Structure 1
Amino acid sequence: MRILLINPNTTPSVTDLVADHVRSVAGAGITLVPATGRFGARYIASRAAVAIAGHAALDALAEHVAGCDAVYLACFGDPGLAALREVSPVPVVGMADAACRAAASGGRRFAIVTGGALWEPMLTEFVAAIGLAERFAGVRAVAPTGGEIAADPDAALGLLAAACRACAEADGAEAVILGGAALAGLAARIQPAVPVPVLCSVEAGTHAVLAAAGAGAGAGASRASRGAPAVASTGLAPALARLLAET
């Protein structure tokens, strides 16, 4: 099983962090193809950075998807997810989409804790867009960004645990997602301090992409059958221009 892992920010250390965690969860039997965004923000923490990251994710898909069984968009917030699914020849799983669906399973009310204040409205909109607003207890964003947390995770553990407890005790969440590629592995470290399940978004996405790759859902479908016509373009990387021009 061959999985393309796309990190659409431009920080290779985050790609390495996520790839290592995915391998530890998935175990033997997978080949991971990590791809870091060729352009864009070092860390995605604004609407402008999200928009650019969607392009970077499409660029990485076009360059590296050949021979893969599924794609893991390893960025909480899933920039470009719908566009990737429109043009990809194999299933595409988004980290945030997978984590939210896992957290809401069984009818649970869930919340999200992440780094970076600007993510609060963006993630609220995201949850509404995937149809889970009625089960959503809200977002609590700690001040450090994902990049800052990745640089010194120990310093952020107390803040993250306190935010997760507040989600459970003040907001009524029955599960909390610790959201963000740079937060990989931290959910298990703060779980003892939180009275409800804390889900690692990286792990939730990993389980979902393995299931998608095994099922092959959507594989082999043509772009035209998914409602995506061939598109002429100017100024794009050659691989992406070719992918968009396919029928």
Structure 2
Amino acid sequence: MTPSLPPPRLLILNPNTSPSVTALLADHATTLLGGAAVVDSVTARLGASYIASEAACAIAGHAALDAWAAHRAAAPRPDAVLIGCFGDPGLFALRELCDSPVTGLAEASFVQAARRSARGRFAIVTGGAAWGPMLRRLAQGLGFDDALAGVHTVAPSGIQLAADPAGALPLLARACREAARDTGADCVILGGAGLAGMAARIQDQVPVPLIDSVSAGAQEALTLARTAVPPTTRAGAGDGPAWCGLSPELNACLS
């Protein structure tokens, strides 16, 4: 009898500095995946408590690399890495640096939305006005610009919405209905780490399918862990410039 393989290990990397967000991400993914995967998590050691601006997102990219390097120095290689921010800061750089396959909440949601929508057109609802142009640019960079029908933002940030679910749910349900109506999308992504679990709670108030970005991220990361071939070499390692002011772990990763 062939022995069963252990479940894959997923690393959820939160590029903001809020441990409560990390715990929410890990709890949601663990509940969703059950025994199909072991879920580990790490929180950024630098940067913003939540990401709602270009500057915070840029710094979060550095924070994601630093958190990966610190985790990798102390723990075995995970089978896949999930960036726990709907905006995927550091996605392309992490792919260059990591010896594990990487995805993010946004990319995973785009993949699922394009797959589930009848015409391949989806809209996004998320918290924080600054995310509109940032997400359009990310969709273009990932090759989903034609599939993205529109981005509808609400004023509160994701962390503010998470802190007040009683107020957030009707606001988000209305925004999802408006996004579907105004863009003609036949699928809407409810994007944001802090919004984990909310899509299911408002689905019956929205006429098109909703995608929970954290659920999509966990599912796509598990698929990567099971099917992707890990990188065998890291681009740039050993032949790049000298680095200054980085953490010892990140400096070692880049050297």
The TM-score, its normalising length taken from structure 2, stands at: 0.91
Q: CA deviation at 1:229?
A: 5.7
Number of the residue aligned with 1:81: 91
Give per-residue Cα distances to partners, 1:121-167, cap 9 Å, x unaligned: 11111111111111211100011101101111121111100111011
Question: Over aligned residue pairs, what C-alpha RMSD do you find?
Answer: 1.3
**Paired residue secondary structure (1:209):** helix
For residue 87 of structure 2, what is the amino acid of its counterpart? G
Number of the residue aligned with 1:221: 232
For residue 168 of structure 1, what is the amino acid of its counterpart? A
Give per-residue Cα distances to partners, 1:100-121, cap 9 Å, x unaligned: 1110115421000000011011
1:58 and 2:73 equivalent? no
Which whole-Å CA distance do the structure 2 matches of 1:160 and 1:11 have between them?
22
Output aligned runs, 1:99-138, within 5 Å: 99-105=109-115, 107-138=119-150
Q: Pick the aligned partner of 1:144 from 156, 177, 181.
A: 156
Q: Pick the aligned partner of 2:176 from 159, 164, 186.
A: 164
Which whole-Å CA distance do the structure 1 matches of 2:16 and 2:44 have between them?
5
1:207 and 2:219 equivalent? yes
1:186 and 2:198 equivalent? yes
Which whole-Å CA distance do the structure 2 matches of 1:112 and 1:104 have between them?
12
Which whole-Å CA distance do the structure 2 matches of 1:193 and 1:149 have between them?
18
Unaligned stretches of 5+ in structure 1?
none
**Paired residue secondary structure (1:33):** strand
Q: Is the 8 A contact 2:77 2:100 kept in 1?
A: no
**Paired residue secondary structure (1:72):** strand
For residue 126 of structure 2, what is the amino acid of its counterpart? T
Which whole-Å CA distance do the structure 2 matches of 1:98 and 1:107 have between them?
18
Number of the residue aligned with 1:21: 28
**Paired residue secondary structure (1:78):** coil
Runs of 4+ in 1 over 4 A off after TM superposition: none
For residue 208 of structure 1, what is the amino acid of its counterpart? E
Give per-residue Cα distances to partners, 1:11-44, cap 9 Å, x unaligned: 1001101110000111114222211110111100
Amino-acid identity (%): 53
How many equivalent pairs are there?
Answer: 242
Q: Is the 8 A contact 1:223 1:229 kept in 2?
A: no
Number of the residue aligned with 2:244: 234
Number of the residue aligned with 1:176: 188
Give per-residue Cα distances to partners, 1:68-124, cap 9 Å, x unaligned: 111111110000000000010010111100101110115421000000011011111
Give per-residue Cα distances to partners, 1:193-233, cap 9 Å, x unaligned: 00000000001111110011111x24141014xx6664331
